Amino acid sequence: MNKKLTSLAVAVPVVVLCSVAALLMLSKWFAADAPSALVRSVPGMDGGPPQSERDASGDLDVELAGTLETFSGTPSDLPGSWPRFRGADFDNICKAGVKLANSWPEAGPEILWSVELGEGHAAPAVLDGCVYLFDYDEAKRADALRSFSLKDGQEIWRRSYGLPAKRNHGLSRTIPAVTEDCIVTVGPRCHVSCVETKTGKFRWGIDLQQEYGASEPLWFTGQCPLIDNGLAILAPAGPDALLMAVDCKTGAVVWQTPNPKGWKMSHSSIMPLTLLGEEMYVYAAVGGMAGISKGGKLLWDIPWSASVIAPSPLTVPGNKIFITAGYGSGSLMVQIDKTADGYAAKEITKNGPKDWLACEQQTPILFDGLLYGIMPKDGGALKQQFVCYDPGSSELVWSSGKTARFGLGPFFLADGKFFILDDDGTLTMLNQSKSGYEPLAQYKVLDGHDAWGPIALAGTRMLLRDSTRMVCIEVGEGK
């Protein structure tokens, strides 16, 4: 979740001095590092601090065990789960069979509870009546994994560790991976932690920068962790490890995938995908995209020059993989084939953001053979519209139109309806249809801005956030 990068430009004033002493002073000035008043300006950061002002966590010794606080909240017995990034099946589609309302009253869907959060875009995961969110406590300057009751939003426990950080479009970014046994988190400065799900008891932690040479992305780490068969699958993208697997119970490293091409960590998350009958982990790093076996072997890779990658890869019928990114990168469609030597990846199409489906921040959804997503701000006439494309014919099926733009907001599919949250916290419900954009209801559920964190649905309770507040709303039929 998180995150906009672009080229850096530094403006240096031209000074003309006449005296020899002044010229000597000027030469010394150029020989030294740039003064603190002369900072990098990064377009798109909207007032966030430049890289030069951020603390270098790679030089810090962070005590990841931290502290555990307990509160009065208790787990609820409400049904439903959303245990990780993109939900149970990694596709942002709820398949639980819940019936959701087709319209909302004039006053909007009922807000059941709300919680104030540190500034950021980290989104919740839900399991067994508990809501888990990886927050940043600005007062204490600490990463904080927080557990809330799904019923009333009361906090149950909080595991936090001190970590200096400065705002950069907020601070928090990622979604925890939650199982019955444990929770794995990745913090904004590349710190990984594993705790017990029920109690918050600390098991182990890893500093991906200090221990694996990871490079923290400019807009903090957006990589959401993955738990698969008791292993935490991570992408440090350091000099010696592109991907790695860690035993969730012991913290022991089970395998590492080499990184000979020196790819760097992106904002994208690892996706477990099945291609040609084999389960594999697919990751889009800065430098290219790769498929890794369940045992850590590199199966295939393909270069891609996108420098800002927030969406994650997804499969398209025909053993194809689709990946997209913002800032002019557009999208890439890759064909995966089996060969005598193993696997081969071949570029099928590469499109600019005005030519075909592209997304800047959120990962598109594939449903019933069609791709859905929000076009980026450089998407031409379709910019920031919700669109539907046919990956088979490459045709635009429909778009939401110029009066319905959604910025960088999240979206997901449940009960035959899309739910889209725009930047300012307005939630739109529309019918999933091949025939066109068919809105059913719309209501402003949040009063803040930068509502970019992904949405979660557990039962008929929907969890959404803006930059500083999370709400739980009731969207069930007849509720």
Domain extent at residue 247: 1-86+107-267
pLDDT computed for residue 168 by the predictor: 79
pLDDT computed for residue 40 by the predictor: 28
List the pLDDT tens digit at each of the 479 positions of the chain.
443 333 333 333 333 333 333 333 333 333 333 333 322 223 333 344 444 334 444 567 899 999 999 999 999 999 999 999 999 999 999 999 999 999 999 999 999 999 999 999 999 999 999 999 999 999 999 999 999 999 999 999 999 999 988 887 789 999 999 999 999 999 999 999 999 999 999 999 999 999 999 999 988 999 999 999 999 999 999 999 999 999 999 999 999 999 999 999 999 999 999 999 999 999 999 999 999 999 999 999 999 999 999 999 999 999 999 999 999 999 999 999 999 999 999 999 999 999 999 999 999 999 999 999 999 999 999 999 999 999 999 999 999 999 999 999 999 999 999 999 999 999 999 999 999 999 999 999 999 899 999 999 999 999 999 999 999 999 999 88
pLDDT computed for residue 308 by the predictor: 92
pLDDT computed for residue 183 by the predictor: 99
Task: Assign residue 232 the CATH number of its domain.
Answer: 2.40.128.630
**Of the candidates 103, 172, 228, 71, the residue with the CA atom closest to the CA atom of residue 454:** 172
Task: Determine, yes or no, domain membership for 277.
Answer: no
Count of the separate structural domains present in the chain: 1
Task: Determine, yes or no, domain membership for 260.
Answer: yes
pLDDT computed for residue 53 by the predictor: 38
> What letters, b where the CB count within 10 A reaches 16 and e where it falls short, cover 4-30?
bbeeeeeeeeeeeeeeeeeeeeeeeee
pLDDT computed for residue 479 by the predictor: 81
Assign 3-class secondary structure to the chain. CCCCCCCCECCCCCCCCCCHHHHHHHHHHHHCCCCCCCCCECCCCCCCCCHHHCCCHHHCCCCCCCEEEECCCCCCCCCCCECCCCCCCCCCEECCCCCECCCCCCCCCCEEEEEECCCECCCCEEECCEEEEEEEECCCCEEEEEEEECCCCCEEEEEEEECCCCCCCCCECCCCEECCCEEEEECCCCEEEEEECCCCCEEEEEEHHHHHCCCCCCCCCCCCCEEECCEEEECCCCCCCCEEEEECCCCCEEEEECCCCCCECCCCCCEEEEECCEEEEEEEEEEEEEEEECCCCEEEEEEECCCCCCCCCEEECCCEEEEEECCCCEEEEEEEEEECCEEEEEEEEEECCCCCCCCCCCCCEEECCEEEEECCCCCHHHCCEEEEECCCCCCEEEECCCCCECCCCCEEEECCEEEEECCCCEEEEEECCCCCCEEEEEEECCCCCCCCCCCEEECCEEEEECCCEEEEEECECCC
Task: Determine, yes or no, domain membership for 304.
Answer: no
Task: Determine, yes or no, domain membership for 147.
Answer: yes
Task: Determine, yes or no, domain membership for 111.
Answer: yes
Task: Determine, yes or no, domain membership for 206.
Answer: yes
Task: Determine, yes or no, domain membership for 143.
Answer: yes
Task: Determine, yes or no, domain membership for 251.
Answer: yes
